[in-house]
Amino acid sequence: MRIKVINPNTTAGMTATIAEAARGVAAPGTEILAATSPTGPVSIEGHYDEAVAVIGLLEEVRKGEDEGVDGHVVACFGDPGLLACREVARGPVVGIAEAAMHCAALVSVGFSIVTTLGRTVAIAERLVLAYGFERHCRSIRASDLAVLDLEDPASDARRVILDECRKAVEQDGAGAILLGCAGMADLARDLGAELGVPVIDGVAAAVKLVEALVGQGLATSKRGPFAFPLAKPYTGALRHMAPRAR
Ligand code: 2AL
C-alpha cells in the first residue's frame, strides 16, 4: 500500500525527519510518500500558523488523491485541517496527535504531552477534549523550544525535552509520553530507553494506524460530514481549490 505523509509546514529538513520515522515503522509492503507543504509557514506554532498551513496541506491531499494513494497522515501535532482532509480523501486520513493518544490509551494508564512553545499547549488541550481523552491526559508540558530549534543541533533540544518528560513521569504520573511535535520523531526510541516508559511518536503511530485501517479494507465514510465537498466555484487567490464535480 502507499501512504502519503504530509508535513504541513514548509521546512523540508523536518519532512526528512518525518519520512525517516515513517519508513522506520512501515511494513515491508508499504511505500511512504513524504511531502512538504508547498506554501505557508516554516513552522506551525499557533492558531494563525495552523489556519494558513491548511491550504498547502489540502493541496497535497488533493494531489495524493490524484496519485491514488491508499491513505494519508497529517504530520503536525495540532492535527490542522484534519476534518477537511477527510472530506477530500477516499482513504483514511489520520492525524499524529489523535494517533498518539489512541496508542497511548492502549499501552498505559495516563499520558502526558511534551510540546514546543507554551502557546501550543492550548491547541493540544483542545484536541485532548475533542478526542475525548481528558480522563487519560495527566499534563501538557511546554519545553519552550521553537519548532525550528528541533532542527538545530546546537539547541540542546534533546536534553530540554528529556527533562520535561522526566517531570511528566515523576511529578504528573504519566505512564507514557506523547511527543508534541512531528519534528521530535527522531527522539522517541532514545527517550523511551532513557525514561523506561513508552514514548510515542505520532508519526509512527499514525502510519501504523493507516496500515491497520487500509488492511481491514476501511476507508473514510462518504455518508455524512466526511462526504466530498460540494462542487462550487471559489473566487480570488484560492479559486484553484474549488471542489471538483463528482
Ligand atoms: C508542530 C508540528 O508538529 N509541526 C509544526 O510545525 N509544529 N507542533 C507543535 N506543537 O509545535
Using one digit for the tens of pLDDT, what is the confidence trace for 189-236? 999 999 999 999 999 999 999 999 999 999 999 999 999 999 999 999
For residue 246, name the pLDDT band (cuts at 50, 70, 90).
confident
What is the rounded CA–CA span in Å between residue 87 and residue 130?
18
Mean pLDDT of 8-33: 98
- Segment 158-163 shows an average pLDDT of 97
Pairing mode of beta strands 111-115, 71-74? unpaired
Q: Is the pLDDT of residue 99 over 90?
A: yes
Task: Please say whether the beta carbons of 105 and 130 come within 8 A.
Answer: no
Distances (CA, A) of 69 to 16, 62, 64, 246: 20, 10, 6, 18
Q: In the structure, what pLDDT confidence band is assigned to residue 153 with cuts at 50, 70 and 90? A: confident
Mean pLDDT computed over 5-12: 98
Instruction: Tell how far the Cα of 114 is from the centroid of ligand 1, in angstroms.
Output: 11
Q: Which atom of ligand 1 is nearest to the CA of 123?
A: 10
Q: Is the CB of 181 under 6 A from ligand 1?
A: yes
For residue 7, which atom of ligand 1 is closest to its CA? 4
Q: 37 CB under 6 A from ligand 1?
A: no
Nearest CA to ligand 1 atom 9: 181
User: Which of 14, 36, 76, 141 for mutating ligand 1's site (highest number of atoms within 8 Å of CB)?
Assistant: 76
Q: Using an 8 Å Cβ cutoff, are 176 and 200 in contact?
A: yes
Q: At 176, which amino acid appears?
A: A
Report percent pLDDT > 90 for the chain. Answer: 98
Q: What is the number of the ligand 1 atom nearest to the C-alpha of 53? A: 6
Residue 7 CA to ligand 1 centre (angstroms): 9
Span from the CA of 220 to the centroid of ligand 1 (angstroms)? 25
77 lines ligand 1 (CB under 6 A): yes
Model confidence, pTM: 0.98
Q: Ligand 1: distance of its center to the CA of 50 in Å?
A: 9
What the chain holds in terms of domains, given with CATH numbers, is 2-95+204-241 (3.40.50.12500), 97-202 (3.40.50.12500)
Residue of the CA atom closest to atom 1 of ligand 1: 181
7 lines ligand 1 (CB under 6 A): no
Ligand 1 atom with the smallest distance to the CA of 49 is: 6
Q: How far is the CA of 96 from the centre of ligand 1 (A)?
A: 10
